[in-house]
Chains A and B, each alone.
Chain A
Amino acid sequence: ILNVEQSPQSLHVQEGDSTNFTCSFPSSNFYALHWYRWETAKSPEALFVMTLNGDEKKKGRISATLNTKEGYSYLYIKGSQPEDSATYLCAPGGGAGSYQLTFGKGTKLSVIP
């Protein structure tokens, strides 16, 4: 996987708005797609690991879907809160005896109270 694209690069939303981000990848030659949340001065925190085409995962107000056939994954946040402000990273990877991840540049979300 050479190029993982995430859009938009940044996003400002009002508290209570719902939002979604896109991660696109040119090849589905990987074992799993990972989503991370990365807050400033903290470690990236794993949100989801998805392995199957059509996978949908949910954690509270955050959910994600994976479409390996068309090469994209969506992350949804319902009712954004200020504490959701962070950079969201997607990273396909793993397979062929390696756990290597290829990261996109991320989507920086700012939730305005």
Chain B
Amino acid sequence: KAGVTQTPRYLIKTRGQQVTLSCSPISGHRSVSWYQQTPGQGLQFLFEYFSETQRNKGNFPGRFSGRQFSNSRSEMNVSTLELGDSALYLCASSLEYEQFFGPGTRLTVL
């Protein structure tokens, strides 16, 4: 069974730009969650989608948004990038409570 895939793996953007990250969950998993890791911080919850509906959202500004498609693939978008958005973004898919993580997208904002 294929694992969670994320594209792209690495991304460099400049301040003010926007970025879209993609996550393909494990086949059959209907829930996708997104997490951010910045240096010195633990993984911070961004949002969770289940059957195309946002079920939960973390404490992030409105510049961070996401969506989920009917095939459970998910995208997250960050608009008006700031230097502090440089981070590793992980997505995780779930069938029930166990979450399976992808390899992450490393975003660098210059």
* Residues on A facing B (Cβ under 8 Å): 4, 31-32, 34, 36, 41-46, 49, 51, 89, 91, 93-94, 97-106
Contact = CB atoms under 8 A, between A and B. Distances in A.
B94 interface: yes
Contacts of A49: 97-98
Interface in B48-72: 48, 55-56, 58
A29 to B, nearest CB: 15
A43 B48 contact: no
A28 B44 CA distance: 19
A43 B104 CA distance: 7
Given A43-B103, A46-B99, A98-B55, A105 B42 contact: yes
A44 B91 CA distance: 11
A98 B45 CA distance: 12
A105 B99 CA distance: 18
Contacts of A91: 43
Given A43-B3, A43-B102, A100 B45 contact: yes
A112 B16 CA distance: 44
A89 B43 contact: yes
Given A43-B4, A43-B104, A44-B90, A101 B41 contact: no
Contacts of A105: 40-42
A89 to B, nearest CB: 7
A106 B40 CA distance: 10
25 contacts: A31-B97, A34-B98, A43-B3, A46-B98, A46-B99, A46-B100, A49-B97, A49-B98, A89-B42, A93-B97, A97-B55, A98-B48, A99-B33, A99-B48, A99-B97, A99-B99, A100-B33, A100-B48, A101-B35, A101-B43, A101-B45, A103-B43, A103-B44, A105-B40, A106-B42
